[in-house]
Structure 1
Amino acid sequence: MRLMVIGHNTAYDYLLAVGIFLGVIVGLKLIQTLVLIHLRRLAKKTKIQVDDAIIEVFERIKPPFYVLFALYLATRTLTLPPIIETVVGLAFGIVLAVEIAIAIGRLIDRLLEIRVKETDGSENDKAQLSSVLQTIGRIAKALVWIVAALMLLANLGVNVTSLVASLGIGGIAIALALQNVLGDLFSSVSILIDKPFVVGDLIMIGEHSGKIERIGLKSTRLRTPLGEELIISNRELTNVRVQNFGRLQRRRALFTLGVTYNTSSEKLRRIPEMMRKIIAAETTAEYDRCHFVRYNDSSLDFEIAFYANTSDYNEYLDLLQNVNLAVYDVFAAEGIKFAFPTRTVVMEK
């Protein structure tokens, strides 16, 4: 039986190519459906959302990709002019690289979105974390597209190794120029993930203190007690010791009271009980101790300690003021005098 030949291919070759073309499309769609069914079953058994992100990536693989892939495989069975084979191969390579880059980009976006949703904190904290992660996501996706472009250039016959080597010096220069910026960026990610402090916390760095108003990509802004805005780079914040007063559940007050030496023994013994009653009268205070601790040059010293059940510094100062005024009133009523530096000179003939 003699088969008709068209363009170096028999009718059987064309029928085989059409069969491969249709079979690959149906096969790929069937594989996608089965994989999605299996992944959805697994996703129902887990609480993590990473598998949901992978499912979304698989769902977005569209028929045009199947068609081009099937066309590429079908044409491999035919004898075609070199120009057509080159065009089909190049088109398939471009679509494959683009599809993979897009899929990885979608996966990166979804994973970062999940990371933000799973973060505990205020909406402001989540917004700041989202801003930082979006920047990191853009950098990661840019790297993916660079790799995809290099793969395409390699398929076109370009010497990728020499191209990368020629760009190496420029890359080093750019990296050095962006060293500080990238350092601040990664420091901000560290701050937002580790959370040594959050917006609204009162912190102290060296001699400076203030409430955190904003944690940005490059710097953190504080409002000092005097009202001015203090801007500190994130890299500096991760390299110094930071005191965070915003995490205080309660504050401890410790102070010394000195009374005069002519205070009677009876009144000295009553002072701890006086202090206990004064502090117990304050609803936000918790008495700790009061002891006669030393004979000073011009005073008999008592050391008093109590807790203020508040993290707000202004409320703590109000409480301390109430205690001090109450001590003054009680001591005045009892005839107990506060000591102050004095010197007695005894003159003899």
Structure 2
Amino acid sequence: MFNGLPSYDVMLAATVFFGTLAILLIARMVLARQLRRLSTLSHFDFLAYPLQIVMATRLGFMIAAALLAGLDQLALSPRQERFVNYAWIVVLVAQVALWANRVITVAAERAFERQRLANPSAATHLMLAGLVGRIILWSLAVLVVLDNLGFNITTLMASLGIGGIAVALAVQNILGDIFSSVSIALDKPFVIGDFIVVDSYMGTVEYVGMKTTRLRSLGGEQIVISNNELLKNRIRNYKRMQERRVQFEFGIAHDTQEDQVRALPQLLRAIIASPELNARFDRAHFKGYGESALLYEVVYYVLDPDYNKYMDIQQHINLELLRELRARGVVFARPTRVLYLNQSAPRAQAAMGE
């Protein structure tokens, strides 16, 4: 007899304890070795996550599991059995939480390394997302343990909910900016270095923080916009523009010869389709009649998003068009107005006076 327990039961419990511990230790060692070897191969790099799960299996968990397995072999009182069951719940939930915590940590670190050089601000947000994920994980683990231990968590959840609402109302603007920064990091409507236009503001993105985004305007000043307000507006990202559509108009004098009026669209096609220009001609039409001009409308595409490149192409088109029109004797329209005076009225008045 040992403490009121049969020696056979104690020996069986000890055997189960050492056997279970040995099995767990050997299984962790073998699995870790195999997963580490396979994860180095390019086709099995996804095994890095199972490897992290195996490595997160703690020695304390294995000892506790082996001890509880041994205690299950003993004839315990109902109260002792209840405590053993509670211990199983705590140990298993804690180990599962450690596994999930390790997966979240590794995923966040790998994503951080991928984004660190390309987009440092997004990398910071990924680490924040990992921290939030771990906080939620451990909160759920604690609630699961308390619920299985017989505690009434309904009141606790209600209290936490009311407290959370009060805190959220107090810091809603700050939370709105933080969640908006996470949305920017995940959705990536822009990254550092992009030229964007937001409402009436435009500039190059210099920094995306937890609360604000900072732009460097064309004038040189820094524009600071809160993330929440930023996402409420339409954002135009010119850095991601593949090509630029350009439309311009011009007018020539009304007394231009018909054959010259008819030839201008083909002339514009030849100018814009020139191999030296990185542009694609779309259309050119004699649009209609203005007060003092014959109006033309021209549309083409610049095959480069750079604004300076677009201006160089437009300048080239303007100069070539000016040269060709002068060579053909065609003049641009000028605002003119012709007044017709009635000369017969003064003569009639003079005749009546005689």
Alignment match, 1:328: 322
Q: Helix, strand or coil for the counterpart of 2:327?
A: helix
TM-score, normalising length: structure 2 = 0.79
Q: 1:202 aligns with which of 195, 204, 221?
A: 195
Q: How far apart are residue 323 of structure 1 and its match? A: 1.8
CA distance in 2, matches of 1:225, 1:204: 11
Q: Does 1:24 align with 2:20?
A: yes
Q: How far apart are residue 225 of structure 1 and its match? A: 1.9
Alignment match, 1:103: 99
Q: How far apart are residue 223 of structure 1 and its match? A: 2.1
Q: 2:162 aligns with which of 163, 169, 172?
A: 169
For these two proteins, the number of residue pairs brought into alignment is: 342
Which whole-Å deviations, capped at 9, do the CAs of 1:101-146 have from their partners, x for residues lacking one? 33221111123345557x7x88332x33332122122122122223
Which whole-Å deviations, capped at 9, do the CAs of 1:69-117 have from their partners, x for residues lacking one? 22233345558999x9999998877665544333221111123345557
CA distance in 2, matches of 1:162, 1:122: 43
CA distance in 1, matches of 2:259, 2:159: 91
Q: How far apart are residue 65 of structure 1 and its match? A: 2.2
1:39-188 superposed matches below 5 A:
51-77=47-73, 97-115=93-111, 123-125=117-119, 127-150=120-143, 160-188=153-181
Letter in 1 for 2:130: G
Distance 1:314 1:156, change over 3 A: same
Q: Does 1:292 align with 2:286?
A: yes
For structure 1, which runs of at least 5 residues remain unmatched after alignment? Answer: none
Distance 1:215 1:50, change over 3 A: farther
Q: Helix, strand or coil for the counterpart of 1:329?
A: helix
Q: Percent identity?
A: 37
Distance 1:80 1:275, change over 3 A: closer
8 A contact 2:251–2:333 mirrored in 1: yes
1:232-311 superposed matches below 5 A:
232-281=225-274, 282-311=276-305
Which whole-Å deviations, capped at 9, do the CAs of 1:209-257 have from their partners, x for residues lacking one? 2222233333332222222222333333433322222222222222111
CA distance in 2, matches of 1:49, 1:143: 28
Which whole-Å deviations, capped at 9, do the CAs of 1:22-77 have from their partners, x for residues lacking one? 11112333554676699889989996865531332123313332122222333455
8 A contact 2:245–2:299 mirrored in 1: yes
For structure 2, which runs of at least 5 residues remain unmatched after alignment? Answer: 344-354
8 A contact 1:113–1:130 mirrored in 2: no
CA distance in 2, matches of 1:219, 1:266: 60
Letter in 2 for 1:142: I
CA distance in 2, matches of 1:37, 1:336: 84
Taking only aligned residues, the RMSD between alpha carbons, in angstroms, comes to: 3.8
Q: How far apart are residue 344 of structure 1 and its match? A: 0.8
TM-score, normalising length: structure 1 = 0.80
CA distance in 2, matches of 1:38, 1:180: 50
Q: How far apart are residue 308 of structure 1 and its match? A: 1.8
CA distance in 2, matches of 1:216, 1:38: 42
